[in-house]
Copies of this chain bind each other. A is one copy, B any other.
Amino acid sequence: MKITVLAIWLISVCPLWAVAAEISPETGECLDCHRSVSPGIVSDWEKSRHAGVSPAEAMKKPSLERRVSLSKAPEGMDRVVVGCAECHTISPETHKDTFEHAGHKVHVVVSPKDCSSCHPAEFTQFGQNIMAHAYGNLEHNPVYQDLVASTNGIQSFINMNTAFRPPDEETKADSCYSCHGTVVAVKGMKKRDTSLGEMEFPVLSGWPNQGVGRVNPDGSTGACTACHTRHQFAIEMARKPYTCSQCHKGPDVPAYKVYEVSKHGNIYSSLESHWEFNSVPWILGKDITAPTCAACHVSLVVNNEGEVVADRTHRMNDRLPWRMMGLIYAHPHPVSPDTAIIKNKAGLPLPTELTGEPASGYLIDSQEQEKRRAAMQKICLSCHSHEWVEGHWARFENTIRATNEMTLAATNIVVSAWEKGAARGLVQKDSIFNEAIEKKWVEQWLFFANSTRFASAMLGADYGVFANGRWYMSKNIQEMADWLDFKLDMLKPEEKH
Contacts and interface: CB of A to CB of B under 8 A. Distances in A.
Given A208-B388, A383-B41, A466-B446, A245 B266 contact: yes
Contacts of A434: 478
A416 B38 CA distance: 52
Interface string A239-260: 0101101110111100000001
Contact of A168 (B382, B402, B475, B485): B402
Contacts of A486: 486, 490
Contacts of A456: 174
B269 A35 contact: no
Contacts of A173: 395
A94 interface: no
Interface in A134-163: 150-158, 160-162
A299 interface: no
Interface stretch (A114-122, A124-132, A228-236): A228-236
A351 to B, nearest CB: 20
A60 interface: no
Interface in A193-218: 201-204, 207-208, 210
B40 A232 contact: no
Contacts of A155: 406, 409, 474, 477
A273 to B, nearest CB: 7
Interface stretch (A16-24, A368-376, A457-465): A457-465
Nearest to A35: B304
Contact of A175 (B267, B382, B464): B464
Interface string A40-83: 11111001000000000000000000000000000000000000
- For chain A, give the interface size range: 35 or more
A294 B320 CA distance: 38
A36 B387 contact: no
A208 B389 CA distance: 8
A2 interface: no
Interface stretch (A7-15, A282-290, A329-337): A282-290
A229 B152 contact: no
A160 B474 CA distance: 16
A398 B461 CA distance: 33
Given A157-B412, A168-B402, A303 B470 contact: no
Contact of A466 (B252, B475, B497): B252
B273 A273 contact: yes
A168 B465 CA distance: 15
A168 B153 CA distance: 41
Interface in A68-116: 108
A266 B246 contact: yes
Contact of A151 (B175, B446, B471): B471
Given A156-B409, A157-B409, A246-B263, A387 B204 contact: yes
A284 B245 contact: no
A180 to B, nearest CB: 10
A171 B413 contact: no
A303 B39 contact: yes
A154 B405 contact: yes
B391 A207 contact: yes
Given A260-B245, A408-B156, A382 B475 contact: no
Given A246-B261, A303-B36, A304-B35, A170 B406 contact: no
Contacts of A123: none
Nearest to A257: B249
The 3 A-B pairs of least Cβ separation, nearest first, read A43-B285, A178-B461, A40-B383
19 contacts: A36-B307, A38-B383, A39-B305, A42-B285, A152-B465, A154-B405, A160-B416, A168-B398, A170-B398, A174-B464, A178-B462, A207-B391, A229-B267, A236-B271, A237-B271, A242-B260, A245-B260, A250-B462, A435-B478
Given A162-B477, A175-B469, A491-B497, 11 more contacts: A38-B382, A39-B285, A108-B387, A155-B409, A160-B484, A171-B402, A173-B395, A242-B269, A247-B462, A249-B261, A250-B466
